[in-house]
Structure 1
């Protein structure tokens, strides 16, 4: 007898999803989840997998001088995702964070704070005062940054975090330096280096930024020649002087001019311009004539002020000529014309002014000719009295960068043929953002030339991601022969050198070993605090009076020796692309020089791009386009959402640290990464989708599902799950996390939500509650574990009571070898997957026809329709549909499906679709039976009566 509806609603008989899992994170619960998925997990794997071969990710130390920014988030979270992937693969992870704590930016910031706190404006500090202030600032910053990293869910051995200012680190760093001294790789030389007047120290190439729109005062200057080949002299009237014409963008370097270079294979011409006879490259005559005539206000084509007397003079015939530099005054000894390979006739005059004290190439070519370098410029970038010996007060104290070139040209008077403003690429100090100069000083260098070939050979077996990183790193190593490692600052590790009264340095294996032993005993600050004449620092047997040097090591040497913190070669180094010329290179060079091991310090080298705003501009505080990581975590960058309940206020958009982590994971980090509201909104929606999917799964999983028969629809869902897990696993293994996230998003939207869960709702709520939600839940957690660990921990905490009673293995502890899907459930899945395109195209056609019916107000729910499939005579499609005959209604979420049935009805709508053998038509018609008041399917025998399935379930 049919069951009659009770007075209450049938909803009490339905298995509607019930879960304590909240649709948004509860802020009060987040700390416990964060602790479990980071600190507790790292400790667990260190203990439980202690026998496993470790996976070592070596930390490129962030700089301890400011607040965390979005670039830090990209870097640290990428590292954490990698570690979690390796943990999932069954490895024991070793990730010990580090910090770079020495160097100028921290020193400057410490001094600024000192000035702010000083009374009566007295902020002067000696070296030890600077070191104490800098150490205090770095210590405070490390604590703040560490707190931020941990709040992002970064899993690491925080208790063992190292800092370059730690005594143990400094000791190992000095050991590397000593090994390089022993191998003869450290030397001192007076030669040009990049010098920052704003920082008052030498800089390495890695500390430079290049500004593309720098303007210099450029000029064509003539130098009177005192000796030229007879054949050339004969071209001039008796008593006339030939003038070598050079072009320079740094006229302030002219006092240091010591030679002029030509190219032996170029042709040169003698031209008469007004009263002067000029020597220039033949290919530059027309350009120079135009410039000089324009300067005089005449037309080059009609002017007779520029006359070519002779062409075809080879540069090799000019080598050996001599000229004078009038700025040298009484010292006007003749200076040589020499050959240089870098001379070109494509710009300038084809003759190059050589100032070996202010140019790297100039220094190299002049040194080969025994020409000494001079640089009459002080630490602040001001001329010294040696600039013009005959007129020592003319320029003394004047800045070479601030008007120095213009004043020098004024002083030269008629020796200047023409000057102009010149826009070009120019190096800047990356910390002070001010221009640098090239200046010869006494500095300490590491000999890169000696180890270069070994270093390049060591890169042959390294995996580079992206692959372009290899050529980039190789180009920096190849283009370097020396590394200036000394800095003229107080905050850093001292270069352990002694100097006698003549400033001759003593640096040997024995002297360094002795000094290091004293540092071990007294502490590194004693290098500055001990009396200058303290004999304890002097190597026994060294005779004479010596003092300790005050130079400190380049911070890239500090961090470049951080490989000493690990016991083995690192599996991965990961940093920004700017570190090819920085930390990657310094690590490679010091490791090759001093480790005593074959190969590089890393097996895989990964680089990420910079963060850009949504307009594609690099983020900068000065521009005001920065985004703080905390703004992504708290959702404050997104528009507020109103509460659903009437009268409710705005709902917090905060989704916790997983919001920040998902942005990182979904970004193609191998290029510059754009971040803005559209990107954040997309990821925010995706994360909410994850939560809602998990909430539905958590509320719908029942232990009874394990005993219900598995349907073809279930098998399709498992096959899709298996495919996406393999795709995600492959993407993660190749460090392509964004590809994994894309696969997860597509699977959730297309395969899971729009297909399987939509088709399963009737069975879940009204039927036997079966299905494969258990496997889907575990599979989804597996894929999300490296990306959104907080969400995974929270979902696991809210799993059903029956699951907790079974004491299942935690998702964080499971490896990829632990199957999510029983192999027998995938039997025959190849056929199902092959059939799936036909089923999906049919479903899409049915939806199109239903939308037309819905627009005409013929149906509302898809269950208010029956479907007839009109198939071609070829029986292939029919055979496929017949295999799913008893599940087609569920798959298409309609009340009935017939093959080639009647298409008569109160309404009918159709859509065509492709099938094997031709075209098919999906007809949407009125339902054939009555609506079941419990499941709402139109399959009941009479109005207000339950369908057969519902009647059995209720009974």
Structure 2
């Protein structure tokens, strides 16, 4: 082993000077032998070498060097069939396993065809699941689909082209649409090689799923976390429904007609009158980007801790009240100088009253508010409680009335006045309000303002804020618990934790009711006369049982006395059933998916090892699953969050059909109509996912796919070389005992062990790209450029059954097995294809049923005694280990042992089971000037120490104690 180490070290230094590309010239020369000719043998030259061609043991295998076109596609489908891809998940669920790995599938939306975003997400999950299964864990992974919601409803109605449908008719068409989308997506996921029981998926429109969801709803309602209220919500006129923040897209290029308008002060603030004279005729100057809300104004808000000034316009002597810090920007905007008349603190504005500019008989107070800033505008904020979240908070605190002037279609109601009635507030209504302000002399300035504005993420149309009676989740009561639970969650990458927390902090409340038909109905009944809601554990539990058996269609199918039977009414202490009507709202689909942990995860511990989704879910599924789980169980539904980026074009652009840069995963696999889009197969798609840095946006296009194809081709070449040289070798009966193997073969098994450790760690960290980098380094540096160069002569020219050749084949078989298993989670089709040709197992056995990388070398579990006679070699070894016994010297590291005892002679009392090696090492330096032939002996024994819980080396006194090195490091850290 020492000779192996020293000679390998010198070779390693030398090979860095001739590093080749992956699978370089050596590989191509070796592969050329498989075509029945070997370079230098049988070349046809007249040197007589051709006479010996048949005596050379050339590589032989039926494994193809390359697969392209239809042959590639046919082979992948054949592998899936022959190797039981469809039954693999069920098989591993039935086997005994000590541990379970649960990856909870976030449900893709069932409203379209599969796209590369699906591929990135599903393949990333599958790579981890296959790794865990190979490691011997029982994988819990149930794919699911998010099936309700407005986009599906609208598409279903658009397809039918009919109107005036009943809720049940709408639901039937929406269900059929969703089922067709699910079938297309499911077929694609199976073709990509994703391991699952595809007959046992979860769907949010299934009765048992809906019942589990309502159980969570009931528990949150009983705790007061879910409540009904009449307050402003994001409302989509284009969809005619309330929206949650997760359903909004902010358009940064939205253009508003912003205005500066005056609110004349009719009652001056008492604290300013005593200090200043001549303030009659002053007007508060407000700025707003939403002029249509002026008719609903109830107050003008100021910042109590800021400074305010009354200024006089140089061009018309008008007196205006503005924030002192805003004076310069307002003067520049108006194009005139503003002379300061007086200045005072914001708190002195208390008690002031303004006249509404459009409603002369209406007075509005000056009120303090924390949301006012001096960053833009005038430092005074027009406040319409019905149409702003902060405005509503002010109204609640000061008990102002909340009057809505906008209907469900986004048009002014009759309450806004005859001039505005029925006008769309965002367009004609805004124009009319500005015109009215101009007519009454209140308009000071109009400007175009480009700013970020919320849009309905489905219809891509702007939303408004309007009050409505809706059902809400009290997020404020959950935030602290959610943050505490999140501290115990491992987030990958760690930088994403800030985004999760930021999105959590931004959410004020969660509106969970929707005015649609395609969803889970909120199980509430309303009194016909009072409108009071009837909802309690008795009513909800009864509905839960009905949904579990019949599905939520029964909410509309069954008579109300079945939904609300006498025994339930009695327990609820309610009147006769004829006094009630069933509610018509459905739950937000984010509540559907946000309660999936309750419906899908194991009942014994409904907490997944990992949730893996795109970065858009930091404010979506990740967050809303956290809220519902914390509300019910006071803990997160996941132990680890993996946040990956989006798939984008090779230019880094978001994919869009209008731009024409969409990459279709079906065309990637099967090829497109153009010759420029050849079939790459599923493994190339999987390689693209694995090779990418998934923690940022991932580019895909011809360059990335061609690179994936070429890398797989090179890998096939390496595997073909290994398989070809194992022809006729059966490791079960012909493998050489490690004690008898050539040192360089033993050394390669050490390197294989290192390789397997690195690969295992990378997979465990959701870092498949590191797996590929490690694989390429191992193949390029350790195999192609080093080991393969050394062993050719022994493989080709030694006797077939010689110890040297069998030693080499023993190493090659373990290398083939290790590399094949290392790539299996990423390239399952190729791995199983190699396994069909590999020696050492039954023909009907498949790789994925046979476990993870097996290595016979566990050097780190052994203690070594190295005895070298005094001389130059001993001095060289002493430079690597100064003390006689060490667990952390450079020599220990090179030998990959637990402990090394460096001495001049072996102890006489060695145990009988010690493995002994003897040999000599020639040192020849400076052209023979320095020359020494040194003898050495090595004794190998099982490690005497216990496994350190920190570094996992066998160097500690007991299993519950750190080794000396780790004790020192940990003590210094604290």
**What is the correspondence of 1:255-274 to structure 2 with a 5 Å cutoff?**
255-273=295-313, 274=316
Partner of 1:950: none
My pick for the range that moved more, 155-164 or 40-49, is 40-49
Task: Indicate yes or no: 2:609 matched with 1:571.
Answer: yes
Partner of 1:557: 591
The secondary structure found in structure 1 opposite 2:581 is strand
Partner of 1:41: 88
Could you say if the C-alpha distance between residues 384 and 791 of structure 1 is closer, same or farther in structure 2, counting changes exceeding 3 Å?
Answer: same
Partners of 2:276 and 2:208 lie apart in 1 by: 72
The secondary structure found in structure 2 opposite 1:52 is coil
Partners of 1:739 and 1:827 lie apart in 2 by: 31
Partner of 1:279: 321
Task: Indicate yes or no: 2:604 matched with 1:604.
Answer: no
Could you say if the C-alpha distance between residues 512 and 740 of structure 1 is closer, same or farther in structure 2, counting changes exceeding 3 Å?
Answer: same
Aligned residue among 629, 651, 658 for 1:591: 629
Deviation at 1:619, TM superposition (A): 1.7
Partners of 1:561 and 1:131 lie apart in 2 by: 21
Could you say if the C-alpha distance between residues 317 and 834 of structure 1 is closer, same or farther in structure 2, counting changes exceeding 3 Å?
Answer: closer
Deviation at 1:588, TM superposition (A): 1.0
Deviation at 1:178, TM superposition (A): 1.0
Aligned residue among 365, 386, 398 for 1:369: 398
Partners of 1:103 and 1:879 lie apart in 2 by: 82
Aligned residue among 159, 166, 170 for 1:113: 159
Partners of 2:601 and 2:321 lie apart in 1 by: 61
Partner of 1:703: 729
**What is the correspondence of 1:37-186 to structure 2 with a 5 Å cutoff?**
38-49=85-96, 51-115=97-161, 122-186=162-226
Partner of 2:779: 748
TM-score, normalization by structure 2: 0.78
Deviation at 1:792, TM superposition (A): 0.9
Task: Indicate yes or no: 2:431 matched with 1:406.
Answer: yes
Partner of 2:822: 783
Contact 2:750 2:857 in 1 (8 A): no
Partners of 2:368 and 2:693 lie apart in 1 by: 49
My pick for the range that moved more, 501-510 or 334-343, is 501-510
The secondary structure found in structure 1 opposite 2:387 is coil
Task: Indicate yes or no: 2:486 matched with 1:459.
Answer: yes
Could you say if the C-alpha distance between residues 606 and 20 of structure 1 is closer, same or farther in structure 2, counting changes exceeding 3 Å?
Answer: same
Could you say if the C-alpha distance between residues 443 and 829 of structure 1 is closer, same or farther in structure 2, counting changes exceeding 3 Å?
Answer: farther
Task: Indicate yes or no: 2:364 matched with 1:335.
Answer: yes
Deviation at 1:207, TM superposition (A): 1.1
Deviation at 1:711, TM superposition (A): 3.1
Partners of 2:644 and 2:933 lie apart in 1 by: 48
Task: Indicate yes or no: 2:718 matched with 1:672.
Answer: no
Deviation at 1:828, TM superposition (A): 9.0
Contact 1:721 1:779 in 2 (8 A): yes
Q: Residue deviations 1:585-626, cap 9 Å, x none?
A: 1111111122xx342111111111111111111222222211
Task: Indicate yes or no: 2:661 matched with 1:625.
Answer: yes
Q: Residue deviations 1:98-131, cap 9 Å, x none?
A: 110000111111111111xxxxxx4442211110
Partner of 2:553: 525
Q: Residue deviations 1:613-653, cap 9 Å, x none?
A: 1111122222221111123323659977xxxxxxxxxxx95
Partners of 2:434 and 2:277 lie apart in 1 by: 28
My pick for the range that moved more, 620-629 or 813-822, is 813-822
Partners of 1:727 and 1:637 lie apart in 2 by: 42
Partners of 1:818 and 1:351 lie apart in 2 by: 72
Could you say if the C-alpha distance between residues 825 and 55 of structure 1 is closer, same or farther in structure 2, counting changes exceeding 3 Å?
Answer: closer
Partners of 2:86 and 2:359 lie apart in 1 by: 69
Deviation at 1:175, TM superposition (A): 1.1
Partner of 1:949: none
Contact 1:221 1:418 in 2 (8 A): yes
Could you say if the C-alpha distance between residues 377 and 323 of structure 1 is closer, same or farther in structure 2, counting changes exceeding 3 Å?
Answer: same
Partner of 1:902: none
Deviation at 1:406, TM superposition (A): 2.8
Q: Residue deviations 1:241-269, cap 9 Å, x none?
A: 22111000111111111111111122211
Partners of 1:52 and 1:343 lie apart in 2 by: 59
Q: Residue deviations 1:770-794, cap 9 Å, x none?
A: 2121111111112111111111111
Partners of 1:637 and 1:472 lie apart in 2 by: 42
How large is the Cα RMSD of the aligned pairs? 3.3
Aligned residue among 207, 220, 227 for 2:260: 220
Partners of 1:603 and 1:498 lie apart in 2 by: 38
Deviation at 1:166, TM superposition (A): 0.3
Q: Residue deviations 1:518-574, cap 9 Å, x none?
A: 545664223234567888468524226221111110001001111112222211111
TM-score, normalization by structure 1: 0.79
Partners of 1:815 and 1:625 lie apart in 2 by: 41
Deviation at 1:150, TM superposition (A): 0.7
Partner of 2:709: 684
> For structure 1, which runs of at least 5 residues remain unmatched after alignment?
116-121, 294-299, 641-651, 839-868, 884-955
Contact 1:33 1:790 in 2 (8 A): yes
Q: Residue deviations 1:868-925, cap 9 Å, x none?
A: x99547988x779999xxxxxxxxxxxxxxxxxxxxxxxxxxxxxxxxxxxxxxxxxx
Could you say if the C-alpha distance between residues 707 and 461 of structure 1 is closer, same or farther in structure 2, counting changes exceeding 3 Å?
Answer: closer
Task: Indicate yes or no: 2:803 matched with 1:763.
Answer: no
Partner of 2:872: none
Contact 2:821 2:853 in 1 (8 A): no
Contact 1:235 1:309 in 2 (8 A): no
Deviation at 1:510, TM superposition (A): 2.9
Partners of 1:108 and 1:814 lie apart in 2 by: 49
Partner of 2:59: 17
**What is the correspondence of 1:783-862 to structure 2 with a 5 Å cutoff?**
783-800=822-839, 803-804=840-841, 810-816=846-852, 818-819=854-855, 821=857
> For structure 2, which runs of at least 5 residues remain unmatched after alignment?
1-41, 867-876, 881-888, 895-922, 937-974
Could you say if the C-alpha distance between residues 265 and 8 of structure 1 is closer, same or farther in structure 2, counting changes exceeding 3 Å?
Answer: closer
Partners of 2:638 and 2:834 lie apart in 1 by: 37
Partner of 2:959: none
Q: Residue deviations 1:454-493, cap 9 Å, x none?
A: 2222122111111123232223333334211001111000
Task: Indicate yes or no: 2:375 matched with 1:346.
Answer: yes
The secondary structure found in structure 2 opposite 1:278 is strand
Task: Indicate yes or no: 2:753 matched with 1:713.
Answer: no
Partners of 2:865 and 2:179 lie apart in 1 by: 58
Could you say if the C-alpha distance between residues 879 and 250 of structure 1 is closer, same or farther in structure 2, counting changes exceeding 3 Å?
Answer: farther
The secondary structure found in structure 2 opposite 1:139 is helix
Partners of 2:777 and 2:452 lie apart in 1 by: 46
Partners of 2:277 and 2:380 lie apart in 1 by: 23
Deviation at 1:333, TM superposition (A): 3.0
Q: How many residues align?
A: 809
Contact 1:225 1:244 in 2 (8 A): yes
Could you say if the C-alpha distance between residues 211 and 583 of structure 1 is closer, same or farther in structure 2, counting changes exceeding 3 Å?
Answer: same
Partner of 2:812: 773
Aligned residue among 282, 300, 309 for 2:341: 309
Aligned residue among 620, 631, 640 for 1:582: 620
Partners of 1:79 and 1:767 lie apart in 2 by: 46
Partner of 2:961: none
Q: Residue deviations 1:706-750, cap 9 Å, x none?
A: 459633432343333222222111111122111111110122122
Contact 1:533 1:547 in 2 (8 A): no
The secondary structure found in structure 2 opposite 1:602 is coil
My pick for the range that moved more, 607-616 or 22-31, is 22-31
